[in-house]
């Protein structure tokens, strides 16, 4: 591993984000210090372990299992319908005793692996058929997620999948076409049941007894964020959390609690570190002299970096009321095995593809 | 080919990175807006989230009579409620239902508890627990987690039925009440009040009596669970109200009525306050408190109308008792003097219309002057006078004797005696007043109707030589009115003498009252039951008894230095002198005894 300034900044930013994430989780869920240490430890161990494992395995070997992993993942998503735990009216978790996993989270990764394996076979030569085939696979594989029902994860999966195809070089005509199509079609999709479906899902998500509306959640989230002011209320001083006014404070809405505790300065810091991590990692790949005939590691690496970056931003856009509430985890903040494992794997893939640790 | 792939990759990655950084800047802007620009406002909202308060219901003010008897006060009561902080267990529900088997049904209780927990509302299980039940509960208190005893207040009235109409009653607030109180009470918030005054003093003095809510501040979480009480500001008890009613006299007057329908109203001429105002029959004010709507309907449909306040609302023909007032009118306008005589043969012939009016005494009173006409109550004399009355002056005089206007600001509900003028007759009969009408009006019959309160005031006007003020129970409205400037001291003395002779001369219609040392002056009357305010409602229950004349008496005492004026009406009591007079005598004796 080369410890130049850039790599040091990248690693420092990443560690800082993970540390802040763990601290915020701790402040929301428990006052027990042991719990905090355990959580931090598990977080770091899992990330390091996954990163190391993936680093040891040759990326090419992983990629050769691409389609098997992808089909296996789809089967797992489908099996949730049969074996899954139903939580608040939505089946998306598989219970493994020590860990409950949400297989749909991993679709983002396995789809990318599948695409790479497929394109490699054809030396990344796109034909209309191959492009349409990949798009069809993307949209069809999103269906089992959407019917779980988990519209948020499904939509993010499609968006990220499209982003990956974009990185891989699919002709821009398709993206322009799809954009036009989406704009024209959106009123029809909107009026045909999506709203009531979405509403029903959101209310079933957040309400135990009370009739909480989406609006109320967003208001409470904005109240938490705004209460932080410039400097924040201080660590462990979130009143919105103490008095339970913010629903889902330990999962989707955790960033609001972070903002209440650390204020605008804290938000600024974490966004700067995010920009450093994402920006520097992405730029790295482009300035690298070793861009060789096989671009697939760079596709994968850039993709994983941007998925982490955009997931982060989408979640923050959601909690600050700029996009509708769709259940999106915040990388390294959200308590939950699936997202932790998923983002750890992505880190591993980033490191593997970049050869940081070599 | 290879180069172009790399170029495409670089270009697209850069594009995505720019997109990423743009969104990031946008997010930063959003957080700047929320945290720096809106920060204070949102923090305020957070405090509102957490810090809440609830109202503490105030204790209503007491009402006391002028002789210091408590007529109404708020009494502390205890109720058993569900404590939503400590969920009641199945075991404690069972224990509770076994403790009060006839009051609590286990199945109902379970449903109440589950509703209560669902809506986070502390529901009441037993309202107004009796002392022994409270003791029973407290002994088992430790087995009964999830329930708590809460304090409240309940209006408790002096049980005597004589005071019901004056005090009024409380009831659950409705839109009519809100409409009534909103213009009268500043910043009236109807949502804060459960029960309000529906009639009487309770209604008129709602503002003074109601008091102010206290506030209990506490912190709560999103589910509404109370955490810590942070501050308490106690409620302000409503004002204590002394009313002019003399409880002893009031009670006596009610008992003297002895189940007959009617009313007694006394005015204290020192300040024109009302020490006695009863209406019979009546009920105990407590009876209306927990009454069912069926029972309430029964009371409304009762032909004797116990809920109707005859003292302020009942309209009766004053009959002969109006004669002294009309004497003042006639003297004031020079229609007659004390020397004019007529021959009363028991009839009055109205030549213009060729009608003959019978007087009450067969054969008449013979040669009659004004004094004799008053003492023996000669109808022909006053009928003869009344054909001289000029319409405008007559109406003007009635107006200045407070016909057609509100008499008493704190009497509720209140009815004024109608002002009989052309308008009134047009409205009711489509014609104007003509001469013949005055013959009946002149002897207090026909269209003339007065409330007992007004009759008592008329008696006061006579006693006070034409000067008077409007009567009241709590708040005095002091502007002295005068209705007869042309009367001399001598006229007033002669009028007073005549009214004394009514009681003390053997010919007087009130001689049988046997007033003795009371020094009573007065005038009796016997009103034909032609029309009372509620005639229609009486129609279907009319029996012979109900066709009998009303007995009326007005008077004042002591006649040399009048202190109290009185009006007594006994519906279908037949003789004013014999039936109504003795009641007036005893009530005035009771009042004057106190001095």
CA angle A304, A307, A311 (to 5 degrees): 150
How many domains would you assign to chain A? 1
The per-residue pLDDT for A204 is 41
The answer, for A206 touching chain B at a CB cutoff of 8 Å, is no
Helix (H) or strand (E) holding B274: strand B273-280
Instruction: Tell whether the model's pLDDT for residue A333 goes beyond 70.
Output: yes
Q: Where are the alpha helices (DSSP H) in A84-213?
A: 107-121, 128-146, 151-168, 172-189, 195-206
Of B324, B334, B266, the C-alpha closest to B497 is: B324
Q: Are B559 and B217 in contact (CB under 8 A)?
A: no
The per-residue pLDDT for B102 is 82
What b/e string do you get for B419-454 counting C-beta neighbours within 10 Å, with b at 16 or more? ebbeebbeeeeeeebeebbbbbbbbbbbbbbbbbbb
Alpha-carbon span B99 to B144, nearest angstrom: 10
CATH no., domain B49-69+158-243: 3.90.1310.10
Helix (H) or strand (E) holding B75: strand B70-82
Count of alpha carbons within 13 Å of B218, Cβ hemisphere only? 13
The per-residue pLDDT for B320 is 93
Contacts A166 to B, Cβ<8 Å: 12, 16
User: In terms of pLDDT, which residue wins out, A111 or A217?
Assistant: A111
Summarize pLDDT for A21-51 with one digit per residue, the tens.
888 888 887 656 776 677 677 777 877 787 7
Provide the strand spans (E) within B451-533: 467-470, 477-482, 521-527
The per-residue pLDDT for A237 is 81
The per-residue pLDDT for A255 is 93
Summarize pLDDT for A268-309 with one digit per residue, the tens.
999 999 999 999 888 876 766 565 667 888 888 899 999 999
Tokens of A280: 């520097």
Residue A321: closest CA among chain B residues belongs to which residue?
A: B30
Contacts of A350 (CB under 8 A, 6+ apart): A281, A301, A304, A305, A356
Q: B49 vs A306: CB contact, 8 Å cut-off?
A: no
Distance from CA of A82 to the nearest CA of B (A): 32
β-pairing, B170-172 vs B195-197, is antiparallel
Residue B183: count of CB within 10 angstroms of its CB:
8
Instruction: Tell whether the model's pLDDT for residue A355 goes beyond 90.
Output: no
β-pairing, B170-172 vs B147-157, is unpaired
The per-residue pLDDT for B537 is 46
The per-residue pLDDT for A209 is 34
Distance from CA of A277 to the nearest CA of B (A): 12
Contacts B26 to A, Cβ<8 Å: 322
Please give the average per-residue pLDDT across A5-10, as a whole number. 86
Distance from CA of B174 to the nearest CA of A (A): 30
The per-residue pLDDT for B574 is 78
Please give the average per-residue pLDDT across A190-196, as a whole number. 54
Alpha-carbon span B123 to B575, nearest angstrom: 58
β-pairing, B70-82 vs B124-126, is antiparallel
What ipTM was reported for this prediction? Answer: 0.90
Alpha-carbon span B156 to B160, nearest angstrom: 12
The per-residue pLDDT for A354 is 63
Alpha-carbon span A190 to A196, nearest angstrom: 9
Instruction: Tell whether the model's pLDDT for residue A264 goes beyond 80.
Output: yes
The per-residue pLDDT for A99 is 63
Please give the average per-residue pLDDT across A64-71, as a whole number. 90
Residue A245 sits in which domain range? 5-354
The answer, for A230 touching chain B at a CB cutoff of 8 Å, is yes
The per-residue pLDDT for B422 is 92
Tens of pLDDT along chain B (595 residues)? 467 888 888 899 999 999 999 999 999 999 999 999 999 999 888 888 888 888 889 999 999 999 999 999 999 998 888 887 777 888 888 888 888 888 888 888 888 888 887 777 778 888 888 888 888 888 887 777 888 888 889 999 999 999 999 999 998 899 999 999 999 999 899 888 989 999 999 999 999 999 999 998 888 777 666 667 888 999 999 999 999 999 999 999 999 999 899 999 999 999 999 999 999 999 998 988 878 889 989 999 999 999 999 999 999 999 999 999 999 999 999 999 999 999 998 888 888 878 888 777 777 888 999 999 999 999 999 999 999 999 999 999 999 999 999 999 889 999 999 999 999 999 999 999 988 889 999 999 888 999 999 999 999 999 999 999 999 999 887 788 888 888 999 999 999 999 999 999 999 999 999 998 899 999 999 888 744 334 444 444 445 577 788 999 999 999 999 999 999 999 988 777 789 999 999 999 999 986 5
Alpha-carbon span B11 to A303, nearest angstrom: 14
For residue B595, count CB atoms less than 10 angstroms from its CB and return exposed for 0-12, middle for 13-18, buried for 19 or more.
exposed
In chain B, where the domains are located: 2-37, 49-69+158-243, 76-156, 247-284+305-593
Distance from CA of residue B574 to its chain's centroid?
29
The answer, for A224 touching chain B at a CB cutoff of 8 Å, is yes
Q: A226 vs B43: CB contact, 8 Å cut-off?
A: yes
Pick from A167, A264, A291: CB nearest B35? A264
Q: Looking up tokens 């009216």, which residue turns up? A: A89
Distance from CA of A37 to the nearest CA of B (A): 28
Alpha-carbon span B146 to B82, nearest angstrom: 6
* Three-state SS at B389: coil
The per-residue pLDDT for B535 is 42
DSSP A235: T
Distance from CA of B283 to the nearest CA of A (A): 48
Q: Are A248 and A217 in contact (CB under 8 A)?
A: yes
- What architecture is domain B247-284+305-593? 3-Layer(aba) Sandwich (3.40)
Instruction: Tell whether the model's pLDDT for residue A251 goes beyond 50.
Output: yes
Q: A169 vs B16: CB contact, 8 Å cut-off?
A: no
Pick from B12, B24, B227: CB nearest A313? B24
Please give the average per-residue pLDDT across A330-340, as a whole number. 82
Q: Are A158 and A137 in contact (CB under 8 A)?
A: no
Instruction: Tell whether the model's pLDDT for residue A175 goes beyond 70.
Output: yes
Q: A243 vs B17: CB contact, 8 Å cut-off?
A: no
The per-residue pLDDT for A271 is 96
Alpha-carbon span B348 to B358, nearest angstrom: 7
Of A121, A197, A109, the C-alpha closest to A157 is: A109
Q: A278 vs B13: CB contact, 8 Å cut-off?
A: no
The per-residue pLDDT for A292 is 63
Q: Looking up tokens 């390294």, which residue turns up? A: A332
The answer, for A263 touching chain B at a CB cutoff of 8 Å, is yes
Asked if omega into B227 is within 30° of 0 (cis), the reply is: no
Count of alpha carbons within 13 Å of A50, Cβ hemisphere only? 16
Instruction: Tell whether the model's pLDDT for residue A244 goes beyond 80.
Output: no
Count of alpha carbons within 13 Å of A344, Cβ hemisphere only? 19
Pick from B13, B23, B35: CB nearest A286? B13
């Amino acid at each position: 591993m080369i410890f130049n300034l850039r790599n040091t900044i990248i690693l420092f930013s990443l560690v800082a984000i993970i540390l802040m994430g763990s601290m915020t989780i701790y402040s929301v869920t428990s006052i027990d210090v042991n719990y905090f240490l355990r959580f931090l430890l598990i977080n770091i161990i899992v990330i390091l372990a996954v990163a190391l494992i993936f680093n040891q395995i040759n990326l090419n070997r992983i990629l050769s299992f691409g389609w098997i992993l992808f089909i296996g993942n789809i089967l797992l998503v489908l099996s949730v319908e049969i074996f899954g735990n139903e939580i608040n009216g939505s089946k998306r978790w598989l219970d493994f005793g020590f860990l409950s996993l949400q297989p749909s989270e991993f679709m983002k990764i396995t789809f990318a692996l599948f695409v790479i394996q497929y394109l490699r076979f054809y030396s990344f030569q796109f034909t209309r058929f191959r492009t349409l085939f990949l798009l069809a696979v993307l949209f069809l594989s999103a269906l089992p997620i959407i019917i779980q029902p988990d519209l948020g994860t499904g939509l993010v999966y499609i968006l990220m999948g499209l982003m990956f195809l974009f990185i891989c070089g699919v002709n821009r005509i398709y993206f322009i076409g799809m954009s036009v199509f989406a704009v024209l079609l959106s009123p029809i999709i909107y009026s045909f049941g999506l709203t009531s479906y979405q509403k029903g899902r959101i209310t079933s998500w957040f309400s135990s007894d009370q009739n909480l509306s989406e609006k109320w959640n967003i208001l409470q989230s904005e109240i938490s964020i705004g209460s932080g002011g410039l400097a924040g209320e201080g660590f462990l001083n979130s009143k919105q959390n103490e008095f339970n006014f913010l629903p889902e404070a330990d999962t989707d809405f955790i960033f609001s609690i972070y903002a209440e505790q650390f204020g605008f300065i804290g938000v600024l810091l974490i966004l700067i570190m995010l920009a450093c991590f994402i920006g520097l990692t992405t730029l790295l790949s482009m300035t690298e002299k070793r861009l060789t005939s096989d671009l697939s590691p760079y596709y994968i690496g850039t993709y994983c970096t941007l998925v982490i970056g955009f997931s982060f931003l989408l979640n923050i856009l959601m909690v600050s009321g700029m996009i509708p509430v769709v259940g999106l985890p915040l990388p390294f903040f959200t308590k939950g095995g699936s997202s932790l494992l998923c983002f750890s794997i992505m880190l591993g893939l980033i490191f593997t593809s970049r050869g940081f640790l070599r | 080919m290879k180069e172009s792939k790399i170029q495409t990759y670089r270009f697209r990655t850069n594009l995505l990175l720019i997109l990423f950084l743009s969104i990031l800047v946008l997010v930063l802007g959003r957080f700047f807006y929320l945290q720096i620009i809106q920060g204070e406002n949102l923090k305020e909202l957070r405090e509102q989230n957490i810090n809440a308060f609830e109202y503490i219901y105030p204790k209503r003010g007491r009402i006391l009579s002028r002789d210091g008897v408590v007529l109404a006060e708020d009494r502390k009561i205890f109720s058993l409620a569900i404590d939503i902080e400590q969920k009641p267990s199945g075991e404690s529900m069972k224990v509770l239902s076994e403790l009060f088997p006839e009051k609590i049904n286990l199945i109902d209780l379970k449903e109440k508890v589950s509703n209560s927990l669902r809506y986070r509302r502390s529901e009441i299980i037993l309202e107004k627990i009796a002392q022994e039940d409270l003791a029973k509960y407290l002994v088992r208190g430790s087995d009964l987690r999830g329930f708590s005893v809460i304090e409240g207040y309940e209006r408790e009235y002096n049980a005597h039925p004589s005071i019901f109409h004056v005090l009024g009653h409380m009831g659950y607030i409705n839109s009519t009440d809100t409409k009534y109180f909103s213009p009268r009470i500043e910043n009236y918030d109807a949502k804060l009040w459960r029960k309000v005054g529906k009639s009487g003093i309770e209604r008129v003095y709602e503002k003074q009596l109601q008091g102010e809510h206290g506030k209990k501040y506490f912190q709560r979480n999103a589910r509404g669970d109370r955490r810590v009480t942070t501050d308490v500001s106690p409620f302000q008890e409503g004002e204590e109200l002394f009313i002019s009613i003399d409880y002893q006299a009031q009670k006596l007057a009610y008992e003297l009525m002895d189940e007959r329908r009617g009313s007694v109203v006394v005015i204290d001429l020192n300040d024109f306050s009302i020490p006695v105002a009863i209406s019979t029959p009546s009920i105990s004010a407590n009876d209306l408190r927990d009454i069912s709507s069926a029972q309430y309907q029964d009371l409304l449909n009762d032909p004797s109308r116990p809920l109707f306040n005859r003292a302020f609302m009942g309209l009766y023909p004053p009959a002969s008792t109006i004669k002294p007032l009309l004497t003042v009118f006639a003297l004031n306008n020079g229609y007659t003097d004390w020397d004019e005589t007529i021959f009363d043969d028991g009839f009055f012939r109205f030549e213009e219309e060729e009608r003959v009016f019978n007087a009450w005494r067969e054969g008449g009173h013979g040669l009659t002057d004004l004094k004799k006409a008053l003492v023996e109550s000669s109808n022909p004399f006053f009928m003869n006078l009344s054909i001289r009355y000029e319409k405008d002056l007559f109406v003007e005089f009635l107006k200045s004797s407070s016909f057609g206007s509100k008499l008493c600001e704190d009497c509720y509900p209140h009815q004024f005696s109608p002002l009989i003028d052309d308008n009134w007759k047009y409205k009711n009969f489509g014609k104007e007043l003509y001469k013949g009408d005055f013959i009946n009006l002149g002897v207090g019959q026909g269209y003339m109707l007065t409330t007992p309160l007004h009759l008592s005031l008329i008696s006061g006007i006579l006693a006070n030589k034409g000067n008077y003020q409007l009567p009241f129970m709590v708040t005095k409205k002091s502007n002295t009115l005068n209705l007869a400037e042309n009367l001399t001291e001598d006229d007033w003395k002669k009028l007073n003498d005549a009214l004394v002779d009514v009681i003390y001369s053997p010919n007087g219609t009130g001689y049988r009252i046997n007033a003795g040392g009371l020094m009573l002056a007065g005038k009796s009357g016997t009103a034909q039951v032609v029309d009372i305010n509620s005639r229609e409602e009486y129609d279907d229950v009319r029996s012979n008894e109900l066709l009998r004349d009303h007995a009326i008496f007005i008077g004042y005492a002591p006649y040399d230095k009048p202190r109290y004026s009185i009006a007594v009406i006994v519906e279908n009591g037949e003789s004013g002198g014999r039936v109504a007079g003795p009641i007036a005598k005893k009530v005035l004796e009771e009042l004057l005894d106190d001095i």
